[in-house]
Amino acid sequence: MARLLGIHIKNYRALADVRLGQVQYGNGTPLPRLTCLIGPNGSGKSTVLDAFGFVADCLLDGVEAACDKPWRGGFDRLRTQGEKGPISFEIFFEADDPARPIVYQLLVDIVDGVPAAVEETCRQRREGETRGKPYYFLKLKKGKGKVWSGQAVGEATESRLSQTVVLADLDKLGIATLGNLSEHPRIVALRTYVEQWYLSYFVPNAARVLPAAGAQRWLDREGSNIGNVLHYYQRQNPREFRAILKRLAKAIPGLKKITPEVSKDKRLLLKFDEEGYQDPFFQHGMSDGTLKMLAYAVLLEDPQPRPFIGIEEPENGLYVRLVERLASQFSSRTANTALSTQMLVTTHSPYFVDALQPGQVWLIRKGSDGHAQATCAADVETIAAMNAQGIPLGSLWYSNHFDDGASE
């Protein structure tokens, strides 16, 4: 499964120049399978998560539509105040060949009054090389450039292996078009990887609404189709369906059974049976915490998980003792190499951070210029040393050691 090694974001809201993990060959430590962002309100944690959503939306919906999502408000509100250069994303990830990660760069700016993809590039080392610079296999500027087909060829190979590319619409990404063509397997892999990113902004009230009946494979961002997804598991993956119920029952005492049921008006009900009650409860009467733990159980028991999952503040609405358990479950899931996914989580909970290691935690805070800065806990000697002595990271964070250590 593909793995994100790092990301470099420039001129995206408060992220004037932020790097997480390894952003080029030999530069930095790769991100682990579980990465947690901590920091004050307004520091830029959610913006990092939204940066992934923006790239995915550019691919799926087009650049202008991605800028104009209601929570983004258009290009002018996205570009870092005072900056004139393009918004830039550089994504470094492993695809099929761990020895040759791919570097994808996307630049977005205004062209003729509208947001557009002004530059896209893909680079990779040639097969068998372990040193030296990566070569381009995609170079586009304002929709014009070259692409090299196959798995091993690139900028350094003969020109007969390259094709001239002219895109008619700068609103559409080049990888969206070329990623449909079998002669470009690396771009197909990149497109597929980004398309499968999942960002969770779970809203319990959305999960309480009774959706139209019908099984669905994936949770949507707000969890409004959680009943449809459980219906899918009940029919298609009964073993995983039982595992979801078992995981939830451990977190919610007294819960015996959940049953998806189609009503007379073709709506999908979730029927919750609890010990001590003769009549069942339905999703509109369940607590926020129960619905959130149900959503996370669905994600954790997925036999074919998304390669990248982003979750905003999973601790909200949860009993404090469930928070550290949830962090441990996320760690166990991402450590499973057979079914491994990768998670990026934002949190305000020291209890969640207590379950993590220094290399998994990044502090996001604003500098004197108002721009976000990112520091990995493993790179702060005092934090790493105290954690090695047995002091949990959450306790160090709550005691202000993160702020003091990162300022040194």
Q: Are 21 and 30 in contact (CB under 8 A)?
A: yes
Predicted TM-score (pTM) of the model is 0.92
Residue 87: helix, strand or coil by DSSP?
strand
Give the residue carrying structure tokens 């381009």. 136
Q: What 8-state DSSP symbol labels residue 30?
A: P
Q: How confident is the model at residue 408 (pLDDT cuts 50, 70, 90)?
A: very low
Mean pLDDT throughout 365-389?
Answer: 94
pLDDT tens digits, 9-52: 999 999 999 999 998 877 789 999 999 999 999 999 999 999 99
Q: Where are the domains of the chain?
A: 3-25+63-196, 199-356
> What is the pLDDT, as a whole number, of residue 158?
44
Q: What's the length of the chain?
A: 408
Averaged pLDDT score across all residues of the chain: 91
Give the residue carrying structure tokens 């964070």. 397
**Structure-block tokens of residue 187:** 């771009």
- DSSP secondary structure, 157-202, as one string: S-GGGEEEEE-S-TTS-HHHHHTT-TT-HHHHHHHHHHHT-EEE--
pLDDT > 90: percent of the chain: 70
pLDDT tens digits, 293-306: 999 999 999 988 99
CA gap 346, 349 in Å, rounded: 9
Residue 106: helix, strand or coil by DSSP?
strand
Paired sense of beta strands 361-366 and 372-376, if any: antiparallel
pLDDT tens digits, 213-243: 999 999 999 999 999 999 999 999 999 999 9
Looking at the DSSP assignment, which residues form a beta bridge with residue 37?
A: 346, 362
The DSSP H or E segment spanning 297 is: helix 288-300
Looking at the DSSP assignment, which residues form a beta bridge with residue 18?
A: 9
Strand order across the beta sheet in which 102-111 lies? 15-21, 3-12, 87-94, 102-111, 114-124, 135-141, 144-148, 162-166
Q: How confident is the model at residue 254 (pLDDT cuts 50, 70, 90)?
A: confident
CA gap 62, 46 in Å, rounded: 22
Fold of 199-356: Rossmann fold (3.40.50)
Q: Are 94 and 104 in contact (CB under 8 A)?
A: no
